[in-house]
Amino acid sequence: MALPSALRRRVPVFPPPPPVTTQVTLPEDGRAANFTRIPTTDKVAFVTIDDGWEKDPRALQLLRAANVPVTLFLEVDAVKGDPKYFTALQSAGATIENHTISHPILTGLGYDAQKRQICGGADRLASYYGRRPTLFRPPGGNFNATTLRAVHDCGMLASFTWMESADKGKFRFQPPQKVVAPGDIILMHFRPAFVDDFLVVLNAIHKAGLTPARLEDYVPGAAATPAAG
């Protein structure tokens, strides 16, 4: 199915992402780090999409039309009814990462329960998509030191929250920020307003003179795609 021309005209055109000049530094003390942005001067920003409950058929056409990398932080309970929907997005260039099994507020759980959610999410997504996730997003952006230890122990390289977000077609900055800055991570969801949210994110990045880049390229070891085991 082709993207309707009215939507196609709303998709900005980006140059290719510039070469990666720096990557994040990962701790070596048995825990993962959490990043709200990538500390880089590269003229890039990062589109991340959470959960997976709403499965708009236009998402695939939008992703192909935009021709930009995105990272999907998927919740197992949200995708298990139709995992092939996201296989198509993966084939169009999306990278699938981990967002737990059932989206609990992790800070209310102990280490074992957090580890079950994080390890279980990674293992299940690996069985669906042929690659075990290397990055993690805590549900609601809520994490603590226990979360970061479980993230590390489950084989995830790092945890990510965000600087800006989009919902219901509105783009939201964290004050006092008024423009997307190099290295910013942007959050949106698979929700009913997916089309408008995706377009408002792309246009905010374009207005800032930046290009969407792949988050995994800025994390040492994350770009590799090991097969599910």
pLDDT, tens only, 118-164: 999 999 999 999 999 999 999 999 999 999 999 999 999 999 999 99
* pLDDT tier for residue 229 given thresholds of 50, 70 and 90: very low
Residue spans per domain, the chain: 33-218
Q: How far apart are CA 197 and CA 190, in angstroms?
A: 9
Structure confidence at residue 3 (pLDDT): 84
Structure confidence at residue 175 (pLDDT): 86
Q: What is the CA radius of gyration of the chain?
A: 17
Residue among 211, 187, 190 nearest 48 (CA): 187
Q: How far apart are CA 15 and CA 44, in angstroms?
A: 11
Q: What is the mean pLDDT of the chain?
A: 95
Q: What pTM value is reported for the model?
A: 0.95
Q: 33-218 domain in CATH 3.30.390.50?
A: no
The pLDDT tens digits for 170-194 are 999 988 889 999 999 999 999 999 9
